[in-house]
Amino acid sequence: MFVMENERRKRVSGMVDFASFGVLLVVLGFIWSQNADLPGRAVDFFRSMGRYRDLPPYASFPDVYDAFVVFVYMLAAWNFLLAAIKVPLGLGVSSALGSALGGAFLLALGYFTKEYCSGALSAAGAMGLLLIMLGVFVILGGVTGGAFKRRAR
């Protein structure tokens, strides 16, 4: 019985992973359709990083920054939706929490990027806050994931 449940969980998890890849392609396609010259501009953005001490200023690449923020927010929304459907699909609370924490991190990434773009945060400040948030979410993920996995046994 346990083997059959484990096989079903693997199959459902595979379908969710496949759907997530599809969502990623849809989001990328949407972003690209709204900014046809974005791939070239993104290459220019990365090439220009050597000219600046920190990240290139928003004024030089507003289209790249804005597209990145929309991309991150759309993926955050998908992560929250994924978190909501994982428990009913039988993938577990731990997996759902992981998706929710991923969505929260992506929201923070989008927020700090917007703050950098508006001039409220320096590039170093935004990156420092992102590292702090990443650390907090890794700790939370480890603690909550471990607690729910231990309880399920």
- Pick the more confident residue, 1 or 135: 135
Per residue in 95-134, pLDDT tens?
Answer: 888 899 999 999 999 999 999 999 999 988 988 999 999 9
Per the structure, the count of domains in the chain is 1
Q: Do 94 and 148 form a contact (C-beta atoms < 8 A)?
A: yes
Report the distance separating Cα 128 and Cα 80, nearest Å: 25
Q: What residues make up the domain containing 33?
A: 2-152
Taking the CA atoms of 79, 100, 142 and 138 in sequence, report the sign of the dihedral they define.
positive
CA neighbor of 133 nearest in space, from 99, 93, 104:
104
Look up the pTM and report it.
0.84
Q: DSSP string covering 119-130, please?
A: TSS-HHHHHHHH
In this structure, what token pair is assigned to residue 92? 């577990």
5 torsion bin: left (phi>0), alpha (psi -120 to 50), beta (else): alpha
pLDDT tens readout for residues 21-43: 999 999 999 999 999 999 999 99
